[in-house]
Structure 1
Amino acid sequence: MTGQQPWHWDEQTWRGHVNRVRAGRSLRPASWPGGARVAVALSFDSDHETIPLRGGETRPGALAQGEYGSRAGAPRVLRLLDRFGIPASFFMPAVSALLHPEEVRDYAAAGHEVAMHGWIHESNTLLGPAEERELALRAADTLEKLSGTRPVGIRTPAWDFSDHTLAITRELGLRYDSSLMADDDPYELLADGEPTGVVEIPVEWIRDDVPYLAFDLGHVLRPYTPPRQVAAIWRDEFDAAVEEGGLFQLTMHPHVIGHRSRMAALRELVEHIDAHDGVWYATHAQVAEYVLSDQRPAPRRRST
């Protein structure tokens, strides 16, 4: 079938592609810890300089834009999380962690999760299986050395999930992935129709800061949405999650959300969330553990 156009594929071929990695059973619980109505999992992809570097861009201007994420954005994010007592997940390319080891230690010291996000924010679908595996193993070892804890979850760079990513995830013994978009709530990943035990904590471009706020002088498209309009979209996503008793998951980047006016909008969103009773703030690892295990973690208290 190699080289055939998709409209020439037989049923076995197109079903095989669709079923390679598929959403299995829903893992949304009847309730969250302590009877909470909604789970809130905030995450930050600390890409920093790896965005230009992975494309071979080494000029100081592009690297400075990434450096902002570590120098200014991440400290602001940590202060906001500390103010409201919220645990979060930080997905960090290994090269970014090596460039900013104190930042990794700050995340860990504050009780946040440090999780995998590739080696240098590479595109997995451009790699062969051996190379993708080697980079993943190297990244896991690097984050463990710097944070003091072996990562239990992965978010593929740019959510680029190859035909080999799930097998590598399982080989590493990771508890969850957070790169796919088949649901709003956690589900189990299937590999060729078979349950894997790997939790998917789904993402979505709607709940990501980049599509709204990114600006790249070198591209024709320069999307920009006023920060409080972005927060309004995310507030509606949260409110619907409360109504459904589900998960509100958010993906942000310190070099994007970490600017002053954007942090003001994020603070207003957090204040909206925090005004609700029955909110369980959790890391992605805690969500995965809760939906899989009978020994479920105690809820983190929201600020009063």
Structure 2
Amino acid sequence: MTRDLVGYGGTWPDFTWPNGARLAVSVVVNFEEGAEQQVLDGDPASERIGEVISVVPEGKPDQGQAQIFGYGTRAGVWRMARALDRHEVPATIFACGRAAERAAPALSALARAGHEVACHGWLWRPHADYDSAEEEAADLDRAIAAIAKASGEPPRGFFCRGAESPWTRALLRDRGFVYTSNGFDDDLPYRDSDGLLVVPYALDSNDMKFFHPNGFVRAREMVDYVSDALDVLQAEADEGLPRLLNIGFHLRIVGRPGRFKAFQGVLAELARRRDDLWIARRIDIARAFSRAVP
């Protein structure tokens, strides 16, 4: 793949989002718990990133790490679902297939509430580490089936941990996906060289930074960071430039009481600014952009 370091070249398409706003906001809730790699589940190794870096020897079952993840679908998801409903914020759920299979009641509840369920791979792993298109295709189809069973319809959007493989986008196109979100390089959707729509995602306005030493510590820090991003993009939108802000959350991270105020605070800030924003699911953003920029 040839890197495109030019993009729109400083000349962005001139359009407004469906409600007349220039700034769209996508709220993403990652649904990965039960799909992280665990020796307990027959995987070759266990995920090491959690509340602490795991000290369990490589290849040994890590019950503690599994329970840290399990909190997300046992407790965190319900707290977060109520907050989304209370603030009337539509979200996109990045759901891993094995998580959808194991925690189907929670994912079904989110789908019934009107949130989009997109595909986050079968496992919470980079698709770049697949050795063949056939192996990746098998896991992708397995994930699509599990998500469709839990949510009631097949996913139309995709995002994997880390990076895609050389075959990922061709597999997505063959399966009728509307967009991929493995792009961190723009403030607007764009099309790749083969025509697949990329709805970019972001890792800075993302609660994973609570798990990184250079990231957030107190809940208010994430709220302030997102508010700053909204201020900058809204100023650009006021100048007539269309923009998109992505905000990412995880059940096991902001679902915890000590960090839940970050989730509440961001949703409250979005609700406060609602008249100036288009808060939408990613599938709606993808379709709106395709209509506006054919």
TM-score tier after normalising by the smaller chain length:
0.7 to 0.9
Deviation at 1:263, TM superposition (A): 1.6
Q: Kindly state the Cα deviation for residue 159 of structure 1 after the two structures are TM-superposed.
A: 3.2
What corresponds to 2:232 in structure 1?
Answer: 240
Q: Which residue identity is paired with 1:146?
A: A
Q: Does 1:108 align with 2:111?
A: yes
The 3 A distance-change label for structure 1 pair 238 and 67 is same
Q: Percentage identity across aligned positions?
A: 25
Which structure 2 segments of 5+ residues have no match? 47-60, 238-242
Shift of 1:33: 1.5
The CA deviation string for residues 217-273 of structure 1, in whole angstroms up to 9 with x for no partner, is: xxxx69652221122111111222222231111111111121123221222222222
Q: Is 1:283 matched with 2:281?
A: yes
Provide the rounded CA distance (Å) in 2 between the counterparts of 1:27 and 1:201: 15
Contact kept? 2:37, 2:123, Cα under 8 Å: no
Aligned with 2:24 (options 39, 57, 67): 39
TM-score by length of 1: 0.81
Task: Read off the aligned partner of 1:145 and give its amino acid letter.
Answer: K
How many positions carry a matched residue from both structures?
A: 267
The DSSP-based 3-state class of the residue aligned with 1:133 is helix
Q: Quick one: structure 1 residues 22 and 129, their matched pair in 2 at CA, closer, same or farther if it must change by over 3 Å?
A: farther
| CA deviations over 1:203-228 (Å, ceiling 9, x no partner) | 22212211x2117xxxxx69652221
Which of 97, 107, 111 is the matching residue for 2:100? 97
Matches within 5 A, 1:1-304: 17-18=2-3, 30-53=15-38, 56-57=45-46, 58-127=61-130, 128-156=132-160, 158-191=161-194, 196=195, 198-210=196-208, 212-214=209-211, 225-245=217-237, 246-276=243-273, 277-293=275-291
The answer as to whether partners of 1:116 and 1:153 remain within 8 angstroms in 2 is yes
Q: Does the 8 Å CA contact 1:27/1:188 hold for their aligned counterparts?
A: no
Output the CA distance in 2 between the equivalents of 1:236 and 1:129: 41
CA contact (8 A) 2:127 2:162 kept: no
> In 2, Cα distance between the equivalents of 1:131 and 1:24?
35
- Whichever residue aligns with residue 150 of structure 1, its letter is P
Structure-1 separation of matches of 2:3 and 2:270 = 37
- RMSD, matched Cα: 2.5
How far apart are residue 289 of structure 1 and its match?
0.8
Q: For residues 71 and 234 of structure 2, what CA distance do their matches in structure 1 show? A: 34
**Superimposed CA distance per residue, residues 100-139 of structure 1 (whole angstroms, 9 cap, x where no aligned partner):** 0101110111000111011112321111211111111121
The answer for unaligned runs of 5 or more in structure 1 is: 1-15, 216-220, 295-304
- In the TM superposition, residue 278 of structure 1 has moved relative to its aligned partner by 2.3
- Shift in alpha-carbon separation, 1:98–1:222, aligned structure 2, 3 A: farther
Distance 2:166 2:115 in 1: 30
Aligned residues of 1:94 and 1:118 also touching (Cα < 8 A)? yes
Q: Which has the higher helix share?
A: 1
Q: Distance in 2 between matches of 1:290 and 1:29?
A: 13
The residue type paired with residue 147 of structure 2 is L
- The 10-residue stretch of structure 1 (131-140 or 257-266) with the greater mean CA deviation from structure 2: 257-266
CA distance in 2, matches of 1:97, 1:105: 9
Q: Equivalents in 1 of 2:175, 2:218: separation in Å? A: 40
What amino acid does structure 2 have at the position aligned with 1:42? V
Work out the CA distance in 2 between the residues paired with 1:164 and 1:39: 30
Q: State the shift of 1:55 in Å.
A: 5.8
CA contact (8 A) 1:257 1:263 kept: yes
Which is worse superposed, 265-274 or 87-96? 265-274
